[in-house]
A and B are shown apart, each in its own frame.
Chain A
Amino acid sequence: MQQPVSKGQSFPGQVHELPGGGIVLSKLDDVINWARSNSLWPLTFATSCCGIEMMATASAKYDFSRFGFEVARASPRQADVIIIAGTIVNKMAPVLKRLYDQMADPKYVIAMGACAISGGPFFYNTYSVVKGADHIIPVDVYVAGCPPRPEALLHALITLQDKIKQGLTREQIKTGIP
């Protein structure tokens, strides 16, 4: 019976105490997912206002490096997660697609703010705006707000970590069938 890694559990596995030490029993998949989730390097991809809140999340007060996100990379080839911070317009859409394609697997996407979710609270009926980044690339976590607070982005990042630790896909989690 597969035991999904619960929230707050630091290391996936059971410790069997023995005289003079102990043995940790775990599955390799769980250990890989645990390691992977705690070292996610975001791509510095900011198109508009949300980028400033992303910078605030990286700065001293909110400090997302506490959760293993500190190494923001400018190259998609070195990044694990792309935080879509801002509006995606038609001219930018192919660029976003190419950036996503250039990232190495496994790769994750966070849609930050109303523009990346659905085209925005204001720009939903304009001729140039893509109505949601999920028209272009698959999105793992959505963060609402215009712009979302840094706490909201932190919550999204932790949600993504939980998701990776589960080791299940989006559809599997939704249907509850592993």
Chain B
Amino acid sequence: MHEVLGTTTDGDLVINVGPQHPATHGVLHLVITLHGETIRKVDPHLGYIHRSIEKMCESLTYRQFIYVTSRMDYLSAHINNHACALCVEKGLQVEVPARAQYIRVLMDELTRIASHELWWGAMAMDLGAFTPFFHAFRERENINDIMEETCGARLTMNYMVPGGVMADIHPNFQKRVKSFIQLFRSKFDEYNEMVTGNIIFQNRMKGVGYLSAEDAISYGCTGPTARGSGVSCDVRKIMPYELYNQVQFDEILETGGDSFARYMVRLREMNESINIIEQVIDNIPEGDYQAKTKAVLKLPKGEFYTRVETARGELGVYIVSEGGTTPYRIKFRSPGFSNLSALDHMARGSKIGDLVAMMGTLDLVIPDIDR
């Protein structure tokens, strides 16, 4: 265990946060240099959940490796699977049936809501409020039930396969999604009442963890983290895949650049995802849910790259193929890694008490960073 503790030559205090710490949302290890209460430097240490997913993918076939990616960013499991399926389809040049595209978009957006709800509850818990956690999970369980009915799993679904989706949707799917939309709409105001409007919460979030648009770009931040600084980077808009060029939705942008702006982006994104689901849910076309593909997939020699928008930002999948049944190399460009790199810049000069709020709004999933 790499551990640093003590004082620097300037008399600054060096402390460790993590790897076992409730605010790091997993096993992130931060070595923080403090001058009194002021943060001089934040040094993230990674690798406490490095499972060598990329290396393992090299020995798995193009059908098998998708299952591992559910465990990467488990809160956006569908979207991870989606990115990999898209990349394999790009190599195979398979046309995905319209029904599968609709189902995929629905699942992606449901996942995004579930992920943001968990983030909302966990972030309020970081700041010391325990009640929002229960409210967030109350709605999230409904999404889990919908997923379970159709995909057979609550969390790591592995539902999207090259060529479409693994199975057709459950007969109850549309009915349950619609009742979820109603439920969510009726509860959404509660979220604002309970947390957003709270004066203590606002004081802890506003003006904290400022990240300018230039810095967000130069650190490679994506997703709500960058959009909170006014950087337009939604892959669904700038490089639409599946249905996203056919549905009407807004890219959520805030210009504050502070923790509160990032918070508002995620909160408004939940509503926007509901809008997308409402447009799609009644129009699922009849037809196949999966394209006809060979039992053993072989990608032609070459390099393939796809990008999708997960709940945390842009996920890129890069496959190098030598023409065989397994990839020669797979690289995942995970959003969490780049977003974390901005933490040091954000935190310098602010108080240690604000660090938790900053990390909360980055919405880090550590297995996504370490892989």
Question: Chain A interface (Cβ within 8 Å of chain B)?
Answer: 44-49, 51-53, 55-56, 59-61, 74, 76, 86-87, 89, 91-92, 94-95, 98-99, 122-123, 125-129, 146-147, 149
Find out whether the CB atom of A46 lies under 8 angstroms from the CB atom of B155: no
* B167 sits at the interface (CB 8 A): no
Cβ of A43 to closest chain B Cβ, rounded Å:
8
* B22 sits at the interface (CB 8 A): yes
Find out whether the CB atom of B137 lies under 8 angstroms from the CB atom of A48: no
Q: Closest chain A residue to B68 by CB distance?
A: A122
Give me the 5 closest cross-chain CB pairs, A-B, nearest first: A59-B137, A49-B74, A126-B52, A74-B22, A94-B1
Find out whether the CB atom of B367 lies under 8 angstroms from the CB atom of A49: yes
Interface contacts beyond A49-B71, A123-B52: sample of 11 additional A-B pairs, CB < 8 Å, sorted by A: A47-B366, A56-B141, A59-B133, A61-B138, A74-B22, A89-B48, A94-B1, A95-B20, A122-B67, A127-B55, A129-B51
Residue numbers in A under 8 Å from B27 (CB-CB): 47, 92, 95
Cβ of A90 to closest chain B Cβ, rounded Å:
9
Q: Closest chain A residue to B46 by CB distance?
A: A91
Cβ-defined partner of B156 (8 Å) among A45, A55, A61, A147:
A147
Question: Chain B interface (Cβ within 8 Å of chain A)?
Answer: 1, 19-22, 26-27, 47-52, 55-56, 67-68, 71, 74-75, 118, 122, 133-134, 137-138, 140-141, 144, 154-156, 366-367
Q: Closest chain A residue to B156 by CB distance?
A: A49
Find out whether the CB atom of B1 lies under 8 angstroms from the CB atom of A49: no
Give Cα A126–Cα B67 distance, bound, in whole angstroms. Answer: 15
Cβ of A74 to closest chain B Cβ, rounded Å:
4
Q: A49-B367, A89-B50, A99-B20 are in contact. Are A123 and B138 (CB under 8 A)?
A: no
Q: A45-B20, A146-B156, A147-B156 are in contact. Are A92 and B51 (CB under 8 A)?
A: no
Give Cα A61–Cα B56 distance, bound, in whole angstroms. Answer: 36
Give Cα A147–Cα B56 distance, bound, in whole angstroms. Answer: 20
Find out whether the CB atom of A129 lies under 8 angstroms from the CB atom of B52: yes
Q: Closest chain A residue to B64 by CB distance?
A: A122
Q: Closest chain B residue to A48 by CB distance?
A: B367
Q: A94-B1, A122-B56, A126-B52 are in contact. Are A49 and B155 (CB under 8 A)?
A: yes
Find out whether the CB atom of A52 lies under 8 angstroms from the CB atom of B74: yes
Cβ-defined partner of A87 (8 Å) among B1, B19, B51, B55:
B51
Find out whether the CB atom of A91 lies under 8 angstroms from the CB atom of B138: no
Find out whether the CB atom of B56 lies under 8 angstroms from the CB atom of A87: no
Q: A47-B48, A95-B19 are in contact. Are A61 and B68 (CB under 8 A)?
A: no
Q: Closest chain B residue to A127 by CB distance?
A: B52
Give Cα A45–Cα B51 distance, bound, in whole angstroms. Answer: 17
Cβ of A116 to closest chain B Cβ, rounded Å:
12
Residue numbers in A under 8 Å from B74 (CB-CB): 48-49, 52
Cβ-defined partner of B1 (8 Å) among A55, A61, A74, A98:
A98
Residue numbers in B under 8 Å from A44 (CB-CB): 22
Residue numbers in A under 8 Å from B75 (CB-CB): 52
Find out whether the CB atom of B26 lies under 8 angstroms from the CB atom of A60: no
Q: Closest chain A residue to B73 by CB distance?
A: A49
Q: A52-B74, A98-B1 are in contact. Are A74 and B19 (CB under 8 A)?
A: no
Cβ-defined partner of B134 (8 Å) among A53, A60, A92:
A60
Residue numbers in B under 8 Å from A94 (CB-CB): 1
Q: Closest chain A residue to B144 by CB distance?
A: A56
Cβ of B235 to closest chain A Cβ, rounded Å:
24
Give Cα A66–Cα B50 distance, bound, in whole angstroms. Answer: 35
Find out whether the CB atom of B156 lies under 8 angstroms from the CB atom of A126: no
Q: Closest chain A residue to B60 by CB distance?
A: A122
Find out whether the CB atom of A126 lies under 8 angstroms from the CB atom of B49: no
Find out whether the CB atom of B137 lies under 8 angstroms from the CB atom of A56: yes
Residue numbers in A under 8 Å from B154 (CB-CB): 53, 56, 147, 149
Residue numbers in B under 8 Å from A87 (CB-CB): 49, 51, 367
Q: Closest chain A residue to B138 by CB distance?
A: A60
Residue numbers in A under 8 Å from B26 (CB-CB): 46-48, 51
Find out whether the CB atom of A91 lies under 8 angstroms from the CB atom of B155: no
